[in-house]
């Protein structure tokens, strides 16, 4: 570990102690009975989320790929992990992640606790073996906090429970669309209102992007070419019919999370809308909901404007979503 990262670890641990002293339970999404949130557990998870301690090169934290200023994505087509290694998929947003029931692009994890283990042990991400993770934690300044909060030495269960507890506080429903839905008739522009009408009517985006988080949490093939030889849900199911299917991403805060699609194939929202407007690309597993829309250039503009209205601009400046403050 470099001197810089050692210093960061020490600063985060010091901030952790101050945070715990004045902590109060923030808003959280739903949580399992086995992991009820506490202010102390959330503060520990927050410190760990932003600390690069748990990576092979000491340079990769959860926040490396999930940055608050980008709605907890990283702005890359695919994410970069330890020693500059890259994976095949774009980092998904963590805002309102507590409400999602299928995590990862292939939907392979049903819980945040289980999901946290994937990046930590992935060769292209944090690149640590489970025993290494435990060894690092037990030798770290976090060890006393684990013992105080969980009543035992650091282990993988306590680690993932702490990180998941922090991630469940990443809740945001304060976009212009939300304010419009609450009765503020001036929250959306005329173009955004027209785009909303298209979204819920002729463009029929709502079939896959529905509910409060604009996702049905189901796998679909959106008529994109295979990219990076990534076969999507078929990676788990082994079924030919699942090749090219990925879990529908949320549209919340979409203006902050470019580039788009599972491997960042599309740079702008307009490019995404044009993809669907043209009916996508030839693909044997294309979802029957994907069809040419026949939107005019102005209608494409209006639909993009509505999608932008699903973004809460305060996410990037919300101190509770950022690293612990240094005393």
Q: Answer yes or no: pTM beyond 0.75.
A: yes
CA pair distance 251, 283, nearest whole angstrom: 24
Check: CB of residue 236 under 8 Å from CB of residue 52. Answer: no
Over residues 213-220, mean pLDDT: 96
pLDDT value of residue 119:
96
pLDDT value of residue 19:
43
Cα dihedral 141, 27, 71, 55, rounded to 10, equals 20
**Which residues are within 8 A (CB) of 273 and not within 5 positions of it... i.e. 6 or more apart?**
295, 300, 303, 304, 307
**Which residues are within 8 A (CB) of 222 and not within 5 positions of it... i.e. 6 or more apart?**
246, 261, 275, 276, 280, 286, 287, 290
pLDDT value of residue 284:
87
Give per-residue pLDDT as tens, 235-291. Answer: 999 999 999 999 999 999 999 999 999 999 999 999 999 999 999 988 889 999 999
Classified as helix, coil or strand, 206 is helix
pLDDT value of residue 27:
87
Q: Is 147 exposed, middle or buried (0-12, 13-18, 19+ CB in 10 A)?
A: middle
Structural domains of the chain ordered from first start: 3-171+317-321 (1.10.760.10), 176-311 (1.10.760.10)
> Is residue 2 scored above 60 in pLDDT?
no
197, HSE (Cβ side, Cα atoms, 13 Å): 11
Q: Is 307 exposed, middle or buried (0-12, 13-18, 19+ CB in 10 A)?
A: buried
Give per-residue pLDDT as tens, 118-174. Answer: 999 999 999 999 999 999 999 999 999 999 999 999 999 999 999 999 999 999 999
The beta-strand segments (E) located in 116-228 are 219-220
Give per-residue pLDDT as tens, 97-108. Answer: 999 999 999 999
pLDDT value of residue 325:
80
Mean pLDDT of the chain, nearest integer: 91
Summary count for the chain: helices (H), strands (E): 12, 2
Q: Is 186 exposed, middle or buried (0-12, 13-18, 19+ CB in 10 A)?
A: exposed
Based on C-alpha coordinates, what's the Rg of the chain? 21
Cite the DSSP H helix spans in 56-98: 62-65
Model confidence at 61, pLDDT cuts 50, 70, 90, reads very high
Give per-residue pLDDT as tens, 250-264. Answer: 999 999 999 999 999
Model confidence at 10, pLDDT cuts 50, 70, 90, reads very low
pLDDT value of residue 24:
67
């Amino acid at each position: 570990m470099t001197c810089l990262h050692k210093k960061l670890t020490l600063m985060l641990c010091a901030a952790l102690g101050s945070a715990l002293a004045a902590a109060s339970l923030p808003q959280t999404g739903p949580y399992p009975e086995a992991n009820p949130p506490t202010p102390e557990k959330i503060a520990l998870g927050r410190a760990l989320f932003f600390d690069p301690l748990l990576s092979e090169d000491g340079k990769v934290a959860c926040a490396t790929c999930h940055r608050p200023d980008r709605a907890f994505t990283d702005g890359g087509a695919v994410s970069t992990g330890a020693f500059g290694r890259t994976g095949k998929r774009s980092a998904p947003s963590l805002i309102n992640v507590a409400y999602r029931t299928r995590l990862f692009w292939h939907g392979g994890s049903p819980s945040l606790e289980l999901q946290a283990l994937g990046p930590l042990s992935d060769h292209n991400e944090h690149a640590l073996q489970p025993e290494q993770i435990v060894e690092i934690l037990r030798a770290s300044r976090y060890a006393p906090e684990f013992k105080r909060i969980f009543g035992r030495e650091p282990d993988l269960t306590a680690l993932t429970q702490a990180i998941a507890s922090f991630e469940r506080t990443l809740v945001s429903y304060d976009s212009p669309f939300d304010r419009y839905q609450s009765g503020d008739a001036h929250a959306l522009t005329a173009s955004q209102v027209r785009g909303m009408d298209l979204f819920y009517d002729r463009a029929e985006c709502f079939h896959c992007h529905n509910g409060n988080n604009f996702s049905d949490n189901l796998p679909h093939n959106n008529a994109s070419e295979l990219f990076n030889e990534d076969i999507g849900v078929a990676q788990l199911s082994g079924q030919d019919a699942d090749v090219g299917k990925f879990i529908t991403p949320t549209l919340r805060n979409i203006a902050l999370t470019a580039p788009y699609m599972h491997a960042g194939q599309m740079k702008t929202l307009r490019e995404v809308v044009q993809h669907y407007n043209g009916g996508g690309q030839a693909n044997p597993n294309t979802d029957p909901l994907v069809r040419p829309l026949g939107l005019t250039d102005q209608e494409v503009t209006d639909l993009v404007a509505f999608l932008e209205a699903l973004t809460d601009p305060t996410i990037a400046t919300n101190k509770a979503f950022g690293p612990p403050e240094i005393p």
